[in-house]
Chains A and B, each alone.
Chain A
């Protein structure tokens, strides 16, 4: 629907840096938000009068608020080290998808209005006025960046294109050019507490049905409680976990872990969403407002621990930002003073012998792990260096016998984004999403061919949705993608632990 026809790129044996295909993706453009959607979250409804001056003023404001932006716009030497690091460039060949070229869309405007050289010698330094054509380029190409930060790993100054993309989106929102997918969802989370717009009673119903299904499957009374005051743990999980496949299998996995460990937990209908799209549009205020619901829910329910489910960008926000945004968490159990990842909790239980897994249950699976970029490059885990790489793999290897990592230059902090992050997970961007997944698909194909891998585990709701959609384009089975706690859920012993 909406998306033009395109060809899925062939999977090559060795990744090749594409030759430049100018304007190859100039047609890729997400739907703009309606007036109502923008206004609902405090932005002007449509392109405002005098937008140019207002955009420049906003840029000035952001330059005073974010050191990252200020330094990054000055420091780039055009060395080109980042040019072949973005999955969207590798998949599309469009030169404006090279990180430095993407940054340049903002930098040329910054130069023009904020630097001596750009004011007086614009041609020399590539400075340009903020025209309607430039704004249009912004809208297209900043909606072709998943804010995955891969470029930042390789830049000699750590210039993070994601910070620039966020600034550009914030400026666009401030003059009334919002993106539909993200802004509509932010409206929903403010209204109903989750991105899907699922009201409380419907959530309770869904959870009840799941309990019945688990009972039928296993015979055990595994519970999925919601709004239970006095529970020890509040679980904040992406709302896709309530509905979508394969997400829901991980939710079942968490429930079984709590059941087997005998920990009282609850979900909250007030904060029934881990995802925080405020991050994607670069809005500190939106991000904070969305996150505050979680603090409110935790205080109201009187929980002693907060645990976050499988969601990449949510974990970045939770791990790296929550303490600043909605902290301090002085009301939590001093043994768990910071919100935790579900993988930290499960890993700890496995290592203490508090839950037991039967690996044989997963013997039909040959597993690999996709490091979700927001976890890999924007967060940590377990209070140990590289914990976000070690812990999920340790859990997988406790839950199954056959595990193979993909090529080293495609995992850990070098991981490729799935292609659907950063607010791009919308149907009209299908071409971009399919092409952006190319590097990951090539790495996957190598382990499929070599080791017979038939399951790619991940801990991100967007990754799961994105891969379910794009795997078939590359002739993989869409059920290859699943969660780490899906593996745990299938292997865990629910009875007595002896």
Chain B
């Protein structure tokens, strides 16, 4: 077993652990914290079903962002839709036999890589060109975009420039999952791609990527306009009533 294989195997275990444990802790924190008042933003649905529909529109279509800014919406949505497709396509490295739907998505998945880059480029350009967004951008905003761009670029490199033995990569991934390690090909682009992907996973719970779970816990979006029928008395607020 080569040193590269051992290092990357450990790297992926560590990154996965950080992602899962970190995210679980964050989500548990959100779930445990009470929302003591009814604060949905108009137009608020009046029922739970309405809330589910609103959330679905926000997550799948970025409805509010569309109202706010068409360019950001275009680039942002393009990036995320492509990312979703790319991630879905990657399932082929983790499943045996490959699910039919994943196999079906393979051809489109290739274009998704380019679409993702285009979206990221647009989002990044805004950080330089639009004065207001330049003002609010931090180093970490740029680094996060750089990370994603590099992941996409190294991925596309393997497809179009220097091919990697994907059968071996799949064996490595399945080996990780079955605790039966298999050798990892030591190709430059692959090692870069995998290292950055692991870094992204590890960073996830400590970065603004928390917007992904956050949107589901946002009280302005996940509450129904039901204040007249429902008291939301938080435990700490109930204490006040005893006084």
Partner-B contacts on A (CB < 8 A): 17, 19-20, 63-68, 70-72, 74-85, 95, 98, 100-101, 104, 115-117, 123-126, 149, 152-160, 163, 284-285, 288, 319-321, 323-324, 327-328, 337-338, 376-378, 380, 383, 385-386, 388, 412-413
Contacts and interface: CB of A to CB of B under 8 A. Distances in A.
A407 to B, nearest CB: 15
Contacts of B39: 68, 160, 163, 320, 378
Contacts of B65: 79, 81, 154, 156
Q: Which of A74, A85, A324 has the most CB of B within 10 A?
A: A74
B36 A65 contact: yes
Nearest to B64: A156
Nearest to B42: A413
16 contacts: A65-B234, A67-B35, A71-B218, A78-B137, A81-B64, A84-B132, A101-B135, A124-B138, A153-B67, A154-B64, A154-B65, A156-B215, A288-B240, A320-B38, A376-B42, A378-B42
Given A101-B135, A153-B64, A158-B221, 9 more contacts: A20-B131, A77-B208, A78-B137, A78-B141, A152-B220, A158-B215, A288-B237, A321-B227, A412-B42
Interface stretch (B68-76, B149-157, B163-171): B68-76
A25 B222 CA distance: 35
A288 B242 CA distance: 13
Interface residues of B, number: 62
A353 B234 CA distance: 43
Interface string B42-73: 11111000000000001000101101110010
A296 B206 CA distance: 48
B240 to A, nearest CB: 6
Contact of A66 (B36, B58, B211): B36
Contacts of B69: 80-81, 154
Nearest to A75: B214
Contacts of B44: 380
A495 B207 CA distance: 68
A338 B33 CA distance: 28
B42 A68 contact: no
Interface in B27-45: 29-30, 33-39, 41-45
Given A152-B220, A156-B58, A157-B221, A117 B214 contact: no
A80 B136 contact: yes
Interface in B9-36: 26, 29-30, 33-36
A324 B131 contact: no
Nearest to B63: A156
A65 B33 contact: yes
Contacts of A82: 68
Contacts of B237: 284, 288, 324
A101 B30 CA distance: 23
Given A80-B130, A377-B42, A124 B68 contact: no
Q: Which of A75, A101, A154 has the most CB of B within 10 A?
A: A75
Contacts, number: 197
A496 B46 CA distance: 39
Given A152-B220, A324-B231, A324-B237, A101 B35 contact: no
Contact of A324 (B42, B136, B225, B227): B227
Contact of B37 (A285, A320, A327, A388): A320
A76 B228 contact: no
A98 B143 contact: no
Interface of B: 26, 29-30, 33-39, 41-46, 58, 62, 64-65, 67-69, 72, 76, 126, 130-133, 135-141, 143, 206-208, 210-211, 214-215, 217-221, 225, 227-234, 236-237, 240
A370 to B, nearest CB: 16
B64 A158 contact: yes
Given A156-B65, A376-B42, A123 B139 contact: yes
A100 B72 contact: no
Given A71-B218, A75-B218, A66 B35 contact: yes
A82 B37 CA distance: 23
A321 B236 contact: no
Contacts of A154: 64-65, 67-69
Given A72-B218, A76-B211, A324-B231, A386 B35 contact: no
Contact of B218 (A95, A125, A157): A157
Contacts of A149: 41
A155 B211 contact: no
Contacts of A63: 33
B133 A324 contact: no
A156 B68 CA distance: 9
Contacts of B236: 65
Contacts of A328: 231
A85 B68 contact: yes
A74 B214 contact: yes
A190 to B, nearest CB: 16
The 9 closest A-B pairs by CB, nearest first: A75-B214, A158-B220, A154-B68, A81-B68, A80-B133, A126-B138, A158-B221, A413-B42, A338-B228
